[in-house]
A and B are shown apart, each in its own frame.
Chain A
Amino acid sequence: MFRSRVKLVLSRFVQAIPTLFGVIVVTFILTRALPGDPAVYFAGPAADAKSIEQVRVALGLDKSLPEQFVRYVGDLVTGDLGDSISTGQPVVSDIASRLPASLELTLFALIISLAIAIPLGILAATRPGTWVDHLCRLVVTAGVSLPVFFTGLALVYVFYYQLGISPAPLGRLDFVHFAPPAVTGFFVIDALLDTDLDTALAALSQLLLPAITLALFTLAPIARMTRAAMLQVLSSDFVRTARAAGLTRSRVLFTYAFRNALLPVITTLGMVFSFMLGANVLVEKVFAWPGIGSYAVEALVVSDYAAVQGFVLAMAVLFVTLNTLIDIAYTVIDPRVGLDG
Chain B
Amino acid sequence: MIRRSLSAMAVPADAAAIRGSSRNTLKHIGYVLRSNPMTMGAFILFVLFVIAAVLGPSLVPYDPLKSDPAAALQAPSAAHWFGTDDLGRDVFSRVVVATRLDLFIALSAVAISFLLGSVIGSLSGYYGGWTDRITGRFIDTIMAFPLFVLAMGIVAALGNSVVNIIYATAIVNLPFYARMSRAEVNVRREAGFVLAAKLSGNSDLRILATQIFPNALPPMMVQISLNLGWAILNAAGLSFIGLGVRPPTPEWGIMVAEGARFIVSGEWWLAIFPGAVLMLAVFTFNMLGDGLRDIVDPRQRT
A interface residues with partner B (beta carbon < 8 Å)? 18-20, 22-23, 25-27, 29-31, 33-35, 141-142, 144-150, 153-154, 156-157, 160-161, 168-169, 224, 227-228, 231, 273-279, 281-282, 285-286, 296-297, 300-301, 305, 308-309, 311-312, 315-316, 319-320, 323
Contacts and interface: CB of A to CB of B under 8 A. Distances in A.
A147 B157 contact: no
B46 interface: no
A285 B137 CA distance: 33
Contacts of B286: 141, 144-145
B152 A281 contact: yes
Interface in B257-271: 257, 259-260, 263-266, 268, 271
B279 A147 contact: yes
Interface in B234-265: 236-237, 240-243, 253, 256-257, 259-260, 263-265
Given A34-B157, A157-B272, A281-B237, 12 more contacts: A26-B141, A33-B158, A144-B229, A147-B282, A150-B279, A153-B259, A153-B260, A277-B146, A297-B241, A312-B152, A316-B145, A320-B144
Contacts, number: 164
B153 interface: yes
* Range class of the B interface residue count: 35 or more
B204 interface: no
A30 B264 contact: no
Given A23-B144, A147-B233, A316 B149 contact: yes
A305 B156 contact: yes
Query: Closest 7 CB pairs between A and B?
Result: A278-B148, A150-B275, A22-B141, A277-B146, A145-B283, A312-B153, A145-B282
B168 to A, nearest CB: 11
Q: Which residue, of B38, B145, B271, B283, has the highest number of chain A Cβ atoms within 10 A?
A: B145
SS class of chain B's interface: helix, strand, loop or mixed? helix
B32 interface: no
Interface in B115-173: 137, 140-154, 156-159
Given A147-B256, A161-B266, A282-B237, A22 B144 contact: yes
22 contacts: A22-B137, A29-B157, A30-B154, A30-B157, A141-B38, A141-B287, A145-B229, A146-B279, A147-B236, A147-B256, A147-B275, A149-B240, A153-B263, A161-B263, A161-B268, A227-B302, A277-B146, A281-B148, A282-B240, A285-B240, A309-B156, A316-B145
Given A19-B144, A153-B263, A157-B268, A315 B149 contact: yes
A173 B192 CA distance: 65
A274 B146 contact: yes
B290 A141 contact: yes
B149 A278 contact: yes
B145 A315 contact: yes
A289 B151 CA distance: 21
A153 B149 contact: no
Nearest to B277: A150
B242 A297 contact: yes
Contacts of B73: none
Contacts of B156: 30, 300, 305, 308-309
A25 B143 CA distance: 14
B276 A23 contact: no
Contact of B237 (A149, A154, A296): A149
A127 B198 CA distance: 48
Given A22-B140, A224-B302, A278 B147 contact: yes
